[in-house]
Chain A
Amino acid sequence: MGVTGVVSSLEESLQNVLAVDGVQVAALVDVATGMVVHSVGDEGPDFAAAAASVADEARACRGMLGPGRPGGDLDEISLVTASRIHLARVLSEQPGEGMVLFVDLDKHRVNFALASLRVGQAAPAVLA
Chain B
Amino acid sequence: MSTPNQPVATIPTPLRQAFIDCAASRLSGVLRVTGQPGGAFHFSEGKIVAGETPGAPGIEAILLRSKRVDESGWDAAFAAAAATGREMRNELIGRELVGAGELEALLRTTIADAVFAVAYGVVEICRAEAPAAGLLVTLEPGAEAEWLLAETSRRIRVLRSFTDPVFNARARVIAVSGAVRPGLVLGEGRDELAALADGRRTPRDLAFVLGRGVYATMLELGRMQADGLILADSRPPGSPADDEEETPSPAVADDAETPGGLPRRRREHAGQGGRSGGRDLPAAFRLLRLRYGEGTSTGGTG
Given contacts A1-B28, A1-B49, A35-B112, contact A97 B101 (CB under 8 A): no
Q: Is A83 in contact with chain B by the CB < 8 A criterion?
A: no
Interface class of chain A by DSSP: loop
5 residue pairs, one from A and one from B, having the closest CB atoms: A96-B189, A2-B44, A67-B185, A32-B216, A9-B100
* Alpha-carbon separation in the docked complex, A28 to B220 (Å): 20
Q: Is B141 an interface residue (CB 8 A)?
A: yes
Contact B140 A128 (CB under 8 A): no
Q: Which of A30, A62, A128 contacts B100 (CB 8 A)?
A: A128
Q: Given the known A-B contacts A10-B105, A37-B109, A62-B187, are A1 and B216 also in contact in the complex, defined by CB atoms under 8 Å? A: no
15 A-B pairs whose Cβ atoms sit less than 8 Å apart in the complex: A1-B42, A2-B28, A2-B44, A2-B49, A9-B104, A32-B213, A32-B220, A33-B155, A33-B216, A36-B151, A97-B189, A99-B102, A126-B101, A127-B101, A128-B102
A-B contact sample (13 more), CB < 8 A, given A1-B138, A97-B216: A1-B28, A1-B50, A1-B135, A2-B47, A8-B141, A13-B101, A28-B105, A30-B109, A32-B213, A33-B213, A52-B154, A94-B189, A128-B101
Known interface pairs A32-B216, A95-B192, A97-B216; A67-B187 also in contact (CB < 8 Å): yes
Choose among A8, A35, A36, A92 the residue with the greatest number of B CB atoms under 10 Å from its CB: A35
A84: Cβ under 8 A from any B Cβ: no
Complex alpha-carbon distance, A121 and B220, angstroms: 32
B residues in contact with A125, CB < 8 Å? 101
Residues of B within 8 Å of A62, CB to CB, are 187-188
B102 touches A127 (CB 8 A): yes
Cβ-closest chain B residue relative to A14: B101
Q: What is the minimal beta-carbon distance from B134 to any residue of chain A, in angstroms?
A: 11
A94-B113 Cα distance, complex, nearest whole Å = 18
Considering only CB atoms and an 8 Å cut-off, how many residues of chain A contact the other chain? 35
Q: A117 within 8 Å of B by Cβ?
A: no
Q: Give the chain A neighbours of B200 by CB distance below 8 A.
A: none
Kindly list chain B residues whose C-beta atoms are within 8 Å of the C-beta of A52. Answer: 154, 158
Q: Which of A6, A32, A36, A52 has the most B CB atoms < 10 Å from its CB?
A: A32
Chain A residues in the interface with B (C-beta under 8 A): 1-4, 6-10, 13, 28, 30, 32-38, 48, 52, 59, 62-63, 67, 92, 94-97, 99, 125-128
Chain B interface size band reads: 35 or more
Say whether, besides A94-B66, A97-B189, A128-B100, A6 and B141 are in contact (CB < 8 Å). Answer: yes
Are A92 and B216 closer than 8 Å at their CB atoms? no
Cβ contacts under 8 Å, A8 to chain B: 104, 141
Structural contact, A38 and B105, CB atoms closer than 8 A:
yes
How many angstroms from the CA of A34 to the CA of B159 in the assembled complex?
A: 12
CB distance from B219 to the nearest CB of A (A): 7
CB contact between A59 and one of B141, B151, B158, B188 (< 8 Å): that residue: B188
Residue in B closest to A3 when the chains form the complex, CB atoms: B140
In the bound complex, do residue A97 and residue B212 qualify as a contact, i.e. CB atoms below 8 Å apart?
A: yes
CB of B160 within 8 Å of the partner chain? no
